């Protein structure tokens, strides 16, 4: 209900707030390839040969977006793309192998828990919001919407609150109510779209996968991201109609 324009509640057609101050955040695994694929073949074509390794490389990313903004002429003033970060670290190889020498830095996935999430929220998310947020909104509250995953920090997290104070902004965490429909723009359409674009690159190594996700995030069409937020509003209407 907080997303609705309260002035239109009694009208036949309700309106939504702009949602410009809501930041959507979530995590997702991105894979180097899929085990199963669909192919469309002509009647005389042979089935393609596609070897798939037993272990498919994957990386979890933290993604943060907000609704894009436009000026009166339709020009983009804020893309809504705040950041995407892999949960990885570089470690030195302990042993020599046929692919690399001992001591060469390798990329390893982090085990994501609340401590790691707090670090990413403070060192990456908060700073990214400060760097890209529209200057005309200085002083207004920015809400970070997250689900109730156990790895997510709580809205009253003291370290996060202190980091926000140091930015001079008013940023608050907002969790979805338990047992409620998933109303996150990332899960609604953005992740699937970004995954499809990255998959077209056919990465063969973890660094290529990370680079591919980050570049597709940077190049993602702003208009598509805005339409995902419009679709989110449509889903909210249907939820209220069937409540």
Residue 6 has pLDDT above 70, yes or no: no
Take residue 198 and report the two structure tokens written for it. 């990255």
Please report the pLDDT score of residue 12 as a whole number: 60
CA torsion, ordered 66, 189, 213, 98, to nearest 10 deg: 140
CA atoms of 102 and 144, how far apart (whole Å) = 42
What mean pLDDT do residues 89-104 have? 72
CA atoms of 71 and 200, how far apart (whole Å) = 33
Residue 5 has pLDDT above 60, yes or no: no
Instruction: Set out the domains of the chain in order of their start, with CATH numbers.
Output: 21-35+55-241 (3.30.420.10)
Q: What is the DSSP letter of 208?
A: H
Per-residue b or e along 150-169, where b marks 16 or more CB atoms closer than 10 Å to that residue's CB: eebbeeebeebeebbeeeeb
Select the more confidently predicted residue: 138 or 78. Answer: 78
Please report the pLDDT score of residue 125 as a whole number: 97
CA atoms of 79 and 99, how far apart (whole Å) = 41
């Amino acid at each position: 209900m907080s997303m609705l324009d309260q002035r239109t509640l009694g009208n036949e057609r309700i309106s939504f707030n702009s949602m410009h101050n809501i930041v959507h955040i979530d995590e997702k695994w991105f894979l180097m390839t899929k085990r199963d694929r669909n192919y469309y073949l002509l009647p005389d074509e042979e089935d393609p040969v596609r070897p798939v390794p037993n272990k498919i490389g994957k990386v979890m990313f933290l993604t943060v977006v907000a609704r894009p903004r436009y000026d009166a002429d339709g020009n983009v003033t804020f893309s809504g793309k705040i950041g995407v970060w892999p949960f990885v670290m570089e470690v030195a190889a302990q042993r020599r192998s046929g692919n690399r020498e001992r001591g060469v830095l390798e990329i390893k996935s982090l085990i994501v828990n609340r401590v790691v999430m707090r670090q990413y929220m403070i060192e990456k998310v908060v700073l990214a919001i400060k760097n890209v947020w529209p200057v005309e909104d200085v002083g207004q509250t920015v809400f970070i919407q997250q689900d109730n995953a156990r790895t997510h920090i709580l809205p009253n997290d003291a370290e996060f609150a202190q980091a926000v104070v140091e930015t001079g902004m008013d940023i608050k965490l907002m969790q979805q109510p338990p047992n409620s429909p998933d109303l996150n723009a990332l899960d609604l359409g953005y992740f699937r779209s970004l995954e499809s674009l990255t998959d077209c690159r056919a990465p063969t190594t973890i660094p290529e996968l990370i680079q591919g996700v980050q570049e597709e995030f940077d190049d993602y069409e702003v208009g598509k991201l805005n339409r995902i937020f419009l679709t989110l509003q449509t889903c909210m209407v249907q939820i209220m109609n069937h409540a």
